[in-house]
Amino acid sequence: MMPGFRLNFAPLKEPLGFIRVLEWFTAVFAFGSCGGYSGRKVISLNCTEGANQTLTAAFSYPFRLNQEVLVEGNTTLCNRTVGETHLMGDSASSVEFFVGVAVMAFLYCMLALLVYLGYMHVYKDSNFGPMLDFVVTAAFAFLWLVCSSAWARGLQVVKDATGPAGIKSTLSLCTMPDVHCEVSKMANMRSLDISVVFGFLNVIVWLGNAWFVYKETQWHSQKAAAQQASGRRSAPAPAPI
């Protein structure tokens, strides 16, 4: 057992500990719903000349679409030879940033809960602990806002690139009048949408928790003491008898 460790579950009944547990779960759902994603869409080519054919657009995390092959080199489609064709777009930076923030938030929640449950007596007796906790919590609220906004934009790039308009602009064959292209099977991107929702939910949760952490800091106690002292000074003196 680590020195000074005193197991106490009481902080979980308070907003400080309860919201930290909630943050742990929302971080898990955020990176779990997009980190291992893979999907594919089937494109049907209806040809006036030649046999109808199908192509598969497969893509997965981290969504470097420009490295995903749509057509192998020198493939014959609708009696035409088509060179190697890749999907368009690259959302790797935004989704990796999002997952990175989620994983760091997940780890910080575990560390914070360890302190709350085992070292709360040290946490409350120290000025540095609550202030560091507040700064980190506020920083994560900001990071969640930035990374969620970036990933929401990155997800839209994925949807546009793998949608009917994106496929037609990628595959020049689809612009020819005697070839009709359509996406006959759509990939289920519901989990990716959920990841964005949980990203912005984390912004709200971490901002809310920042207030409860702030109340544990010396800044809040000094402000409250100053307000009480000001109230006593402004109180009218009792009238002489």
Confidence of residue 230 (pLDDT cuts 50, 70, 90): low
In eight-state DSSP terms, residue 86 is E
C-alpha to C-alpha distance for 17 and 124, rounded to whole angstroms: 13
- pLDDT tens digits for 23-69? 999 999 999 999 989 999 999 988 887 778 888 889 999 999 999 99
- Percent of the chain that is helix, strand, coil (3-state, to 5): 60, 15, 25
- Find, among 186, 182, 185, 171, the residue nearest to 52 by Cα: 182
- Find, among 35, 19, 16, the residue nearest to 96 by Cα: 35
Helix residue spans in 8-127 (DSSP H):
15-32, 92-118, 120-125
- pLDDT tens digits for 152-195? 999 999 999 988 888 888 888 888 888 888 888 888 999 999 99
In eight-state DSSP terms, residue 222 is H
Side chain identity, residue 124: K
Is it the case that residue 204 has pLDDT exceeding 50? yes
Whole-angstrom CA distances from 197 to 86, 163, 221, 238, 241 are: 30, 21, 35, 59, 67
**Lowest mean per-residue pLDDT among 110-119, 197-206, 212-221:** 212-221
Task: Return the biggest CA–CA distance within the chain.
Answer: 112
**Lowest mean per-residue pLDDT among 7-11, 97-101, 165-169, 225-229:** 225-229
